[in-house]
Amino acid sequence: MINKALQPGDTIGIIGESIGNIHLIMEAKQLGFYVGIYTPIKIYHNQLADFCIIGDLGDKQKLKVFAKKCDIVTYSSANISSNTIKYMEQYTNVPQHSTMLDMIQDRLIKQSFFDQINVNTAPYETVVNLNDLYHAINSIGYPAILRPIQRDFNHGKQLLIKNQLDIAKADILLNYGTYVLESYIPHNKTFSVISANNSSNHQSVSFPIIQNEIVNGKIQTAFSPTTVDPLITDELKRIARKITNNIQYDGIIEISLILGSNDNIYVHNVNPFLSTSSFIFDHANINEFQMYLRAISGMPLTKIKLSKPTILQSFNQNQWRILKKQWPFPNNWQFIFYNRIDQNLKNVQGHILIESNSSVKNVLKDIKNTKAWD
C-alpha cells in the first residue's frame, strides 16, 4: 500500500513490454515524474525514459539495482513471474502487488477466486490424463477448450474439442502436465469493465463499459456506449464491483465478461493493467494512462467521462494497405501507429479512434464499408 502520494521529481519504474508503454512514459513525464525502464531486450523507445536497465527478468542483482532507483515499480505485462515482483517488493513499492500475477498466470487460482466470491464463470474441470478428460467432457459437454493451468506453460497451447475424435489430439498436450477443461460458451458479445483503485485515498472509479469484438483472440473493435439493454450493463457493473472489492491492488484492473446466447453473463478474465480497448478513452476528460498513474502514485482519482460515442478499430498491415488506398478519411478518423512497419502482415499495426456525433452503429457501418476487415 502507498503511504504517501508521489510528487514531481520522484521516479516510476516500468517492467514488462506493452503497446501502452510509450504513452505511459510520456504521460508520467508530463506529470513531472522521472521514468525508468527494465527490459530483457533493447527496444526503440528506451530513449524516452530517463534511464534503462537491460537485464534478464531473473537477474536478481540488476532487478535490485533497478528497484532501488525507483520510488515505485509497475508491471505492464502478464509475462512476468510473480516471483520477480515479490523479489522487487523487498526494495521498492509495487502498488499492483504480486498476488494479481499469481491469479492471472494460474487458471486454477483464478477459478478458485471466482468460485469463492460466487461469480458466474464457464463450467470447468481439472484434467491430468485422458481418463480425466473423458470424465470431464461427459460432465461439461461439447464444445470445450483444453487450456494449460499455467498461462505460459507449453507455450500456451490450447485445444478446442468439438467432438469425441478431438479428444485423442489432447494426448500429446497432457504429456506436458495438468490442464483445465472449460466449457465453450456460445456468445457474440464481450465486454470490458475497467476500474481504477487507490487504497491510500480509499477511492475506486469505474470507466464507462466497453463492448468488444474479438477476432482470432485479439480485440478488433471496441466501442462505448454499448448496444445492449441497460439492465445488462447494470449487471456487468455489479459483477465487476464484486470482483474489485475482493482484490487487493492499486492501479487499473480490466474485467472481461461475455454475454451468452441465453443472456447469462460469464466472467472470462481479469488483468491488472491497461488493454488495447482502453485506448478509446484517449479523448475523454482524463485519459486511461493519466488515471493509471494517479492510481499507482497515490494521487486523487477523477471520474472519467466520454463526451461522444467512441469507436476503436485495430488494423494490421494487410488492412492498412487497403485503407490507405481510400485516403483521405473523415477528420474524426484518427490513425495511431504503434511502431515501425511490421514485416508480419497479420500483426496489429495500430488503431483508428473515431468520435461520432451520431450513433455507434452508424460508425460501425462506415468501417464495414471500407471492406478492409472483410
Q: pLDDT value at position 3?
A: 55
C-alpha cell at 289: 494512462
* Residue at 101 is within a domain: no
- Whether residue 192 lies inside any domain: the answer is yes
* Residue 49: closest CA among 79, 78, 70: 70
Angle between helices 288-297 and 21-30 (to 10 degrees): 70
Same domain, 136 and 213: no
Is the domain of 290 the same as that of 314? yes
Average pLDDT, the chain: 90
Q: Indicate whether 44 belongs to any domain.
A: yes
Classify 9 in phi/psi space as left (phi over 0), alpha (psi -120 to 50) or beta.
Answer: left
Q: Is the dihedral of CA 202, 207, 209, 214 positive or negative?
A: negative
Could you report the per-residue pLDDT of 330-341, keeping only the tens digit for each? Answer: 999 999 988 655
> 38 with 133, same domain?
no
Residue 12: what are its φ and ψ, rounded to 5°? Answer: -105, 130
What is the tens place of the pLDDT at every residue in 254-264?
Answer: 999 999 988 89
CA distance 241 to 30: 31
d(C-alpha 51, C-alpha 47), whole Å: 8
Reduce the DSSP state of residue 309 to 3 states and report it.
Answer: coil
The whole-number pLDDT of residue 175 equals 85
Does residue 178 sit in the same domain as residue 192?
no
289, 247: one domain = yes
Does the pLDDT at position 1 exceed 50?
no
Give the angle 194-195-200 at the CA atoms, nearest 5°: 160
Kindly report the CATH number assigned to the domain that includes residue 17: 3.40.50.20
Q: Give residue 35's pLDDT band: very low, low, confident or very high (50, 70, 90).
A: very high
Residues 284 and 344 in one domain: yes
Same domain, 192 and 298: yes
In the structure, what pLDDT confidence band is assigned to residue 225 with cuts at 50, 70 and 90?
A: very high
Asked whether 96 and 36 are in contact (CB, 8 A), the reply is: no
- Please state whether the predicted TM-score (pTM) of the whole model is above 0.75: yes
State how far the Cα of 38 lies from the Cα of 16, in Å rounded to an integer. Answer: 7
Same domain, 171 and 273: no
CA-to-CA dists, residue 15 to 3, 28, 151, 201, angstroms: 22, 14, 19, 25
For residue 152, the model assigns a pLDDT of 67
| pLDDT per residue as tens digits for the range 64-102 | 999 999 999 999 888 888 899 999 999 999 999 888 888
Question: Domain boundary at 149, 168, 183, which?
Answer: 183
Ranking 23-27, 45-49, 119-123, 362-366 by mean pLDDT, the lowest is 45-49
Judge if 275 and 299 occupy the same domain. Answer: yes
Q: Are residues 212 and 319 in the same domain?
A: yes
Asked if residue 112 belongs to a domain, the reply is no
Q: What is the pLDDT of residue 187?
A: 85
| Residue 169: domain span | 123-183
pLDDT band at 150 (very low <50, low <70, confident <90, very high): confident
What values do phi and psi take at 296, rounded to 5? -80, -20
Three cell numbers, residue 318? 494487410
Assess whether pLDDT exceeds 90 at residue 2.
Answer: no
How sure is the predictor about 345, in pLDDT bands with cuts at 50, 70 and 90?
low
CATH of the domain at 173: 3.30.1490.20
- What lies within 8 Å, CB to CB, of 175 at 6+ separation is none
Asked if residue 114 is part of any domain, the answer here is no
What's the pLDDT at 202? 84
Residue 125 CB neighbour total at 10 angstroms: 18
Report H helices in 117-208: 130-140, 164-167, 170-174
CA distance 133 to 126: 8
Residues 6+ apart with CB under 8 A from 310: 223, 224, 280, 281, 283, 353, 354, 355, 356
CA distance 274 to 19: 9
- Is 118 part of any domain? no
The domain that contains 224 carries what CATH number? 3.30.470.20
Q: How confident is the model at residue 186 (pLDDT cuts 50, 70, 90)?
A: confident
Which of 183, 201, 223 marks a domain boundary? Answer: 183
Question: Could you tell me if 258 and 306 lie in one domain?
Answer: yes
User: Is 322 inside any structural domain?
Assistant: yes
Cβ-based neighbour number of residue 21 at 10 Å: 22
Helix (H) or strand (E) holding 206: strand 203-206
Place of cell 486523487: 300
Asked whether residue 342 carries a pLDDT value surpassing 60, the answer given is: no
Number of domains in the chain: 3
Q: What is the pLDDT of residue 77?
A: 83
The answer to whether residue 324 scores a pLDDT higher than 60 is: yes
**Please, which residues bridge with residue 212 across strands?**
190, 222
Cell 481418463 found at: 131
Residue 83 sits in the same domain as residue 57: yes
Is 111 among the domain residues? no
